[in-house]
Amino acid sequence: MSRKMREDFCNEESFPAEVAAAAHNKYKTLPKKGKPQKLKEWTLLSTVIMRYRQQSKDDNNVNGENKKYHLRAVALGTGSKCIGKSKMSNTGDVLNDSHAEILARRSFVRFLYEELKRVYAGQPSDVFIKPSPSNDNRCSLRPGVTFHFFTSHTPCGDASIFPKSTRKEKTGSSDKRASPTGSLGSEFLKCADQSQKAEENDLNIENDNDSTEKDGNKVAALTNCQSSITEGCVNSCEYRNSNEITDVVSRKRKSGSPGMNKQQSEGSVDDENIGHVVKKARHSEDRSLKLKSASNDEAEDIYRTGAKCVPGGGQDLHAPATLYHTVGLLRTKPGRGDRTESLSCSDKMARWNVLGCQGALLSMLLAEPIYFASVTVGRSPFCKSAMGRALYMRLTSPDVSFPAPYHLHQPVFLQAPDQDFEASKAAVQREANLAAKSGTSNQNIVPSSAAIAWFDSSQTNGSDHDVTVSGRRQGITKTDVNKPKARSRVCSWSLFRCFHDLLDETDPELLPTALRIENRKQLTYANAKLLAVPYQLAWAQLRECVFDTWLQKPRSFLNFTVES
Adjacency order of strands within the sheet including 146-151: 412-415, 372-377, 146-151, 45-53, 69-78, 450-455, 466-469, 472-473
E-state strands within 369-422: 372-377, 412-415
Residue type, 467: V
d(CA 145, CA 503): 25
> Contacts by 61-67 with C-beta closer than 8 Å and gap 24+?
62/129, 62/142, 62/143, 62/144, 63/143, 64/144
Cβ partners under 8 Å of residue 496, min gap 6: 92, 361, 525, 528, 560, 562
- Decide if 152 contacts 421 (C-beta within 8 A): yes
Number of helices (H) and strands (E), helices first, in the chain? 16, 16
101 annotated active-site: yes
Q: Which residue, among 364, 361, 345, has the nearest Cα to 353 in the 3D structure?
A: 345
The residue type found at 81 is: K
Among residues 101, 169, 206, 341, the one annotated as catalytic is: 101
SS3 content of the chain, % helix, strand, coil (to 5): 35, 15, 50
3-state class of 130 per DSSP? Answer: strand
CB 152, CB 78: distance < 8 Å: no
Tell me the catalytic residues.
101
